[in-house]
Every structure is written in C-alpha cells, then in structure tokens.
C-alpha cells in the first residue's frame, strides 16, 4: 500500500509491491527492493543505436557502459556543470544534479538489516531507467513507407544486467513484462538461468549474457519490465520480491513522428582562382543522424533531389561573404594547392619527395 499525503486519493502501487515508502504518483514513487538488486544498463560500447536513458552513477566493480577512445561515460555527478532555474538564473552544479535525479522514477533498496547502501553509490535509491524503441511491426512498415532510410528503426535493445546480492542468494530470478515484448526470444515470465550472477557477494556483478529486449507490437502507455527474486521456492515461506525495473516508453503512432529533412549541398569558392568546393555529408554522419532521431522515435525522411530529379544545391560561389578577404591568405592557399598537386604527381611516378615539397 502507498503512504499518501493529506487530501490525496490512495493509489495502488505501480509495481504491486507492498510497503511502498513514498507517494506513488509519477514520476517519483518509491518502493522497496529487498535482498537482490538488478540494474539495467546498455551493452558495452553502446553508441546510441536506440533510446536508453539511465542516471549515470558509478557502477563499481564493472566496466563503464561507454568507452570509445578518449570518451568515457562519466557519472552525472561529475559531468554535470549547471542547470536551468529561470530566465535569469542558473542552478549550481549540486542543485542541477538533484533536479536531474527527480526525472527518474525511484525505488529504495533494503534488506533484512535495513537500507542497502552499495559501495560507490550515494544512498539506497534505485533509479529506474527508460527504454524507447519502435515495435517490430512499425519498424517494418516504416522501412517500406520510406525506402531511403539508411537504418531500419530499432525494435531491439541489447542490454546487460548488473546484479548486487546483499544477503541470501535467491533460488531464481524471473522477469515479467508485457505481452508486446520478448526477452531473449521468450515471452513473460522469463527465468534467468545462470545463478552465478546473483551469488551473495556484496559487490556488483556484470551479467554473464546479453539481455535482449524485443518489442513486437506498439504500446500506448508506459509499461515495465520487472525483475523478481524468488526465495524458498516451493515452500510455504516462498517469497517473490521486486529486484529491479525498466520503464518501457509508449511507441504507438501518437508518439512517433516522421520528419522531412532537405539534404542541401552547398557550393562555395573561398579562393576564386582555385575553383569551387562542394560540401558533402559522410555516410557515418547520416547514420548518426538516423540513430539520434530514432532515440526520440523520430523517423527521418531525407530529401536529396527536387521535383525535376536534380540534386538540392545552394550555389554561393559568387557570394563575397563566402570568400577569403585577405590577399596574403589567398596567395598562401594558391601556393598550397600548387604544391599539393606537385606532390600527388610525384607519387604517381613512384617518387616520394615530400620533404622537399613541404620545405617549399
């Protein structure tokens, strides 16, 4: 049951968990997790291929979700700089972080000895992440409707799980979810078979296999994947306790959008004597554009030609605003272009005279 504030109607706990500890209205209801904690995270090397939003916290004892070259996934507490308070004021780093945390539904973790404060975490609060993907049905229909799509709208998300067992090891862990979804190709309920993952060790342990969520059909409202730990299975004292949650955001037609985008090639001539330079969009840039929009269930319909079948181009070659004003700079560019041509000609002859060309 929920603990309600005065003059508020009682609301059934969204997670069907007894002993809710706080107001259960969206977005900040709290329920208790007991014993086992299951965190949902994107797979290693996640590059934004689908919509997944989680509060970046320091998941001790496991690798970071994102690690690409010089870019790593810092906890929000360190990464956040400031926040919006009003038209004339900004929030401090600390207050901005506190405001950000309120955007996530929250649970409270507790075992038989009281509140569980995991190493590296600020307190016993569990922040429910959000998953935003298309359904398989809508993805296939959109691909037919817009043949120019480079990538099909994603209807699957490959996740990993982080288990933290603070007391007795459960007999099994099961996942319950709506009929419109599958986990690792299975309907609800799905049993997590590798019990090594939830040995009582008081440390985070990364899942031994991928947790793949597939959406088959649209949903029109928020739903959840819920993890439960089962203790004393088959006995009179059997308990089924909530261990973690993942919020599934609605993805029906009312929550999707098709966005028309004109891909215009711009033609400029910064140095009149060297000819024009035409801008191009790289293949990887277009892929990132698709993925970024898909996170918000936006489908790009990119137009590259006009009604006559010609490329969409913007000619700025005669526009003085797009030309270099300094004669010395122009001469330098002309000399560079000449030397570059000489170097390329020597390469074609099998000669490498880079040092002499560069000295000139």
Are 244 and 121 within one domain?
Answer: yes
Would you place residue 34 in the very low, low, confident or very high pLDDT band (cuts 50, 70, 90)? low
Q: Report the candidate in 138, 357, 131, 99 with the shortest Cα–Cα distance to residue 257.
A: 138
pLDDT number for residue 28: 41
- Give the chain's length: 360
Q: Percentage of the chain with pLDDT > 90?
A: 26
**DSSP label of 37:** E
Are 62 and 190 within one domain?
Answer: yes
C-alpha 99/C-alpha 85 separation (Å) is 10
User: Domain of 330?
Assistant: 325-360
Backbone φ, ψ for residue 287 (5° rounding): -65, -40
pLDDT number for residue 291: 92
Residues 6+ apart with CB under 8 A from 154: 49, 50, 133, 134, 139, 294
Residues 6+ apart with CB under 8 A from 68: 45, 47
Decide if 194 is inside a domain: yes
Structural domain ending residue among the three candidates 205, 224, 252: 252
Position of tokens 């969520």? 213
Render pLDDT for 332-359 as a digit per residue (tens, 0 to 9). 667 766 766 776 666 666 555 544 544 5
Query: For the chain, what is the domain count?
Result: 3
Render pLDDT for 284-298 as a digit per residue (tens, 0 to 9). 888 899 999 999 999
Backbone φ, ψ for residue 117 (5° rounding): -115, 105
Average pLDDT over residues 226-240: 81
Average pLDDT over residues 175-198: 86
Q: Which of 130-134, 196-200, 226-230 has the highest mean pLDDT?
A: 130-134
- What average pLDDT is seen over the chain? 76
Structural domain ending residue among the three candidates 191, 224, 252: 252
Q: What is the Cα 181 distance to its own chain's centre?
A: 19
C-alpha 68/C-alpha 30 separation (Å) is 35
Position of tokens 């090397």? 45
* 179: pLDDT strictly greater than 90: yes
C-alpha 77/C-alpha 97 separation (Å) is 6
Are 91 and 181 within one domain?
Answer: yes
């Amino acid at each position: 049951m929920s603990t309600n504030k005065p003059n508020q109607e009682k609301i059934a706990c969204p997670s069907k968990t007894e002993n809710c500890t706080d107001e259960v209205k969206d977005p900040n209801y709290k329920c208790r997790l007991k014993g086992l904690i299951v965190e949902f995270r994107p797979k290693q090397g996640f590059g934004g291929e689908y919509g997944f939003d989680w509060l970046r916290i320091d998941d001790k004892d496991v690798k970071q979700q994102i690690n690409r070259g010089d870019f790593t996934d810092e906890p929000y507490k360190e990464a956040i700089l400031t926040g919006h308070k009003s038209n004339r004021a900004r929030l401090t780093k600390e207050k901005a972080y506190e405001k950000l945390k309120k955007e996530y539904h929250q649970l409270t973790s507790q075992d038989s000895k009281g509140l569980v404060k995991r190493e590296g975490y600020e307190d016993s609060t569990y922040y429910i992440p959000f998953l935003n993907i298309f359904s398989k049905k809508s993805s296939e229909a959109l691909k037919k409707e817009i043949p120019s799509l480079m990538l099909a709208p994603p209807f699957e998300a490959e996740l990993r799980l982080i288990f933290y067992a603070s007391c007795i090891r459960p007999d099994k862990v099961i996942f319950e979810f709506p009929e419109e979804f599958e986990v690792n190709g299975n309907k609800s309920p799905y049993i997590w078979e590798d019990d090594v993952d939830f040995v009582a060790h008081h440390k985070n342990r990364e899942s031994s296999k991928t947790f793949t969520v597939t959406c088959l059909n649209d949903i029109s409202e928020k739903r959840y994947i819920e993890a439960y730990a089962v203790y004393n299975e088959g006995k009179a004292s059997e308990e089924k306790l909530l261990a973690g949650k993942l919020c599934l955001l609605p993805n029906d037609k009312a929550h999707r959008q098709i966005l028309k985008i004109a891909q215009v090639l711009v033609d400029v001539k910064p140095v009149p004597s060297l000819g024009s330079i035409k801008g191009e969009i790289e293949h990887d840039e277009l892929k990132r554009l698709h993925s970024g929009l898909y996170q918000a269930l936006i489908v790009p319909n990119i137009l590259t030609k006009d009604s006559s079948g010609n490329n969409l181009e913007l000619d700025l070659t005669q526009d003085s605003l797009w030309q270099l004003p300094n004669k010395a700079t122009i001469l330098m560019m002309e000399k560079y272009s000449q030397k570059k041509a000489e170097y390329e000609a020597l390469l074609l002859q099998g000669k490498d005279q880079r040092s002499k060309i560069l000295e000139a």
